Structure 1
Amino acid sequence: MPVVDIHTHVYPPSFMDLLRSRSAVPYIRSFPPDTSPRLIILPGEDSPSNPSTARGRPIGPEFYDISKKIEFMGKHRIDISVISLANPWLDFLPADDAGPIAQRVNEEINELCDQYPGRLFAFGALPVSASREVIVMEIARLSEKKYIKGVVMGSSGLGRGLDDPALDPIYEALQEHQLTVFLHPHYGLPKEVFGPRASDYGHVLALALGFPLETTVAVTRMLLSGVWDRFRALSVLLAHSGGTLPFLAGRIESCVHHDNHLLDELKQGERRSIWDILKNNIYLDAVIYSQIGLKAAVDASGSNRIMFVSSNGNFLAGTDHPFFPPLESKDDEWPSVQANFNAIKDAFDGNKEAADSILGGNAIRLLKLELRAE
């Protein structure tokens, strides 16, 4: 069974040029006296009034040189990577620029995949700030690209969240063209949630708590607004094992059934349950780093809905490369990848049926990946 990494990012060269040309988030800059470039993508990372211990992150060729991706894959024994533009994608672009830039970036990503046929596939990026007509046309165009197997989106949607009725034509087009949505967080939670000392703690609160809760809120809003009732074939892959969704699914469902506002819809059978959607529309990656979290994801969705990669016959979760690299140069293999390996090994050791699906079968089936002839 080929080994598939479903969660791995790249900033293609044209996107790097765009970030270098900007003077506001997202952008690339240095903070003297250190002259090395840093990637500033999260809100508040460069706030002069409240300097953070997390001033972006160092950015090197592993972010944009596709040969470094292939090198990483070889080191960790990964056969196939499904690459995607990392956050903030194209959300920040002016409406008039979004369409042309999306076409250019997606063409470049498709060409990167063509340099390594059978080893790289991709999720395209959508020009979400453009008109709905432009977005729908880009979805149709992406569906004809050899290596594009879905799209990556953030929780903002067109700017008003994923429960925005204005997204219906986009969901309809994605469903029609059978393109999976890779839903990835970026905006987190309001900084006030983390208290006045949040900037003292680097990226920990924003990434460990803000990202998973952002995903959970976004998907719950989709549920409550009936997105999956209207688009029953819409397929969504959730980053970071769905945030806290697997753990909170029962509580969400209970609250739905005890809310008078939704009573009529429930009586008329017009609303699908969160469990039905988890089993039929949602897939989860395994970037969660613990056996407990993985077991919750499998219990909620089933092992045939979880995306993993493998190392030397054992399991690894999607890598999130090039983020979370080793902080010590002596580390050959990435500790973040090793943490997922340990969690998955403990959770699924001895379960061959689940292992065969998790190794790569789920990703190959969902995204219809064309395998190389040996």
Structure 2
Amino acid sequence: MHIIDSHFHWWPRSVFERLCKRTEFPLAAVNARGGYTVRRHENEANPLPSWAEWHDLDDQLAHMDGLGHQVDVVCSIGPMSVFFSQLPAEEGRDLAMHWNEEMAGAQRKYPGRVWASAAIPLVDTRIAMDVLEHAIGKLGLMGVNLPGSIGSDARIDAERLDPFYARVSELGLPMFLHPTDAIFADMLDGYNGALHLSLGRVVEVSVAAARLVLSGLMERYPELKVVMSHTGGALPYQSGRMDKNTKGAKLPRPTSEYLHRMYTDTVSPHSAGMKFAIDYYGIDNVMYGTDYPCWDPATCLKLLAEIDLTQEQKQKLFYDNARRILGLKDPVAHKLAAAE
């Protein structure tokens, strides 16, 4: 089967080496697992670790080859996306552009197999717009990443960012919304990270998505493509509660109507959770995704096999939806070869 993994993480080492040279927080340090540990501040309860599997794209693709399917991947940033907004504005811009150049290089190296989305620092709106235009117009990246917060500021719906969202909508870009550990992580300390990893990230991404709705952004920009990670966080399960308790936002439609316009992936280690996401969003709005290397693609495939899906639904889930929703195009060289 030809598969597209819509939730895949490759982190270029060169970016982390730059963070290792910083003498002030946030900064990174090499760890014993062949990766890096990134800290937002000195007493951070849950610093962000990576390991060797995050940083070698060739090895990652070889792992995908071992699944017995043809697997293409879409690179998104994940929890690292907040760090570009925690740095001083100019430094965050430079590091985001560095990241985006690395992503564009991966697209060129693996045309038609690897697609990548852009890092966007949000602490300064003008810089955010400049980085956006560079990433899409010059580098040819296929989407943008939206952190769950702007540094430790939860207001990703800040009024000053309206031109940014307007431009993302105008360009028809998918916007990958992923938790970033900056808001809830420190109140969920202890238990060797168990509480933070199991609930903290789910809560953060749910609050962030709700802000996009309640602020009216999705009403003003109906073409905005929000790709929710982790089967939509808590929002599908709490959809009725959202409708009941969000009347104070004075939206012209129930909150659930905006939630149903979002897209999501299959990142849930629970086949019932995957099925509920498909039932809630509809088969046309859910894409296969594994969160690799945070999760095992083989396990994801096994759990999806437990759900009763028709062949047509599988084709949508594993391939067609990603091509359509994310606007993935064949490389120009492939088109020329086909024409010949």
TM-score (norm 2): 0.87
Residue 305 of structure 2, aligned match among 345, 348, 357: 345
Q: 8 Å contact 1:182–1:237 — kept in the other structure?
A: yes
Match of 1:138 in 2: 131
Whole-angstrom CA distance in 1 between matches of 2:28 and 2:210? 31
Residue 171, structure 1, aligned to residue 165, structure 2? yes
| Matched residue, 2:318 | 359
More displaced 10-residue stretch of structure 1: 95-104 or 112-121? 95-104
CA distance in 2, matches of 1:191, 1:105: 24
- Sort the Cα spacing of 1:22 and 1:38 in 2 relative to 1 into closer, same or farther, 3 A: farther
Deviations 1:270-304 (A, max 9, x none): 52323322333x10011011122112212221011
- Which structure 2 residues correspond to residues 176-325 of structure 1 after superposition, within 5 A? 176-187=170-181, 190=184, 193-194=187-188, 198-199=189-190, 201-257=191-247, 261-262=248-249, 265=250, 270-280=251-261, 282-308=262-288, 318-324=289-295
Q: Distance in 1 between matches of 2:139 and 2:232?
A: 28
CA distance in 1, matches of 2:183, 2:243: 23
Separation in 2, partners of 1:355, 1:295 = 13
Mapped contact 2:36–2:51 kept (Cα < 8 A): yes
Alignment deviations for residues 195-248 of structure 1 (CA, whole Å, 9 cap, x no partner): xxx42x223211110001111111112222111111111111011111111101
The match for 1:81 is: 73
The equivalent of 2:146 in structure 1 is 153
User: CA 1:236 to 1:209, structure 2 compared with 1: closer, same or farther past 3 Å?
Assistant: same
In structure 1, distance between residues paired with 2:147 and 2:198: 17
**Taking structure 1 as reference, are residues 64 and 147 closer, same or farther at Cα in structure 2, changes over 3 Å only?**
farther
Cα distance in 2 for residues equivalent to 1:289 and 1:245: 17
**Counterpart of 1:330?**
none
1:143, CA displacement in angstroms? Answer: 2.3
Q: Quick check: 1:82–1:121 contact (8 Å CA) kept in 2?
A: yes
Q: Deviations over 1:151-202 (max 9, x none)?
A: 11211147442221122111011011111110010126545754xxx42x22
**Aligned with 1:98: secondary structure?**
helix
Give 1:251 shift: 0.9
Alignment of 1:90-169 (within 5 A): 90-129=84-123, 131-145=124-138, 147-157=140-150, 159-169=153-163
TM-score normalised by structure 1 residue count: 0.80
Whether the aligned pair in 1 keeps the contact of 2:3 and 2:319 (CA below 8 Å) is: yes
Tell me the amino acid that sits aligned with residue 223 of structure 2.
Answer: A
CA distance in 2, matches of 1:256, 1:218: 15
Cα pair 1:153 1:181 within 8 Å, conserved: yes
What are structure 2's unaligned runs of at least 5 residues? none
Q: Are the counterparts in 2 of residues 278 and 300 from structure 1 also a CA contact under 8 Å?
A: no
Residue of structure 2 in register with 1:333 after alignment: none
Distance (whole Å) between structure 1 residues aligned to residue 113 and residue 177 of structure 2? 22
| 1:41 match | 38
1:29 matched to 2:30: yes
Q: Aligned partners of 2:175, 2:185: CA distance in 1, in Å?
A: 27
How far apart are the structure 1 equivalents of 2:28 and 2:33?
14
Structure 2 CA distance, aligned partners of 1:12 and 1:187? 20
**Cα separation, 2, equivalents of 1:56 and 1:105:** 17
Q: Residues of 1 paired with 2:66 and 2:58: CA distance? A: 12
Unaligned runs of 5+ in 1: 309-317, 325-335
Mapped contact 2:36–2:49 kept (Cα < 8 A): yes
Q: Does the CA contact (< 8 Å) of 1:8 and 1:82 recur in 2?
A: yes
Once the two structures are TM-superposed, the CA of residue 147 in structure 1 deviates from its matched residue by 4.7
Q: CA RMSD in A?
A: 2.5
Number of residues of Structure 1 aligned to a counterpart in Structure 2: 328
Q: Distance in 2 between matches of 1:181 and 1:160?
A: 17
More divergent stretch after superposition (234-243 vs 270-279): 270-279
In 1, distance between residues paired with 2:156 and 2:118? 18
Q: Secondary structure at the match of 2:237?
A: helix
C-alpha contact (below 8 Å) 1:5/1:319 kept by paired residues: yes
Structure having the higher Rg: 1
- Cα distance in 2, alignment partners of residues 238 and 142 from structure 1: 21
- Does the CA-based 8 Å contact 1:26-1:88 persist in structure 2? no
Shift of 1:69: 2.2
Kindly indicate whether the alpha-carbon contact (under 8 Å) linking 2:38 and 2:49 is maintained by their aligned counterparts in 1. no
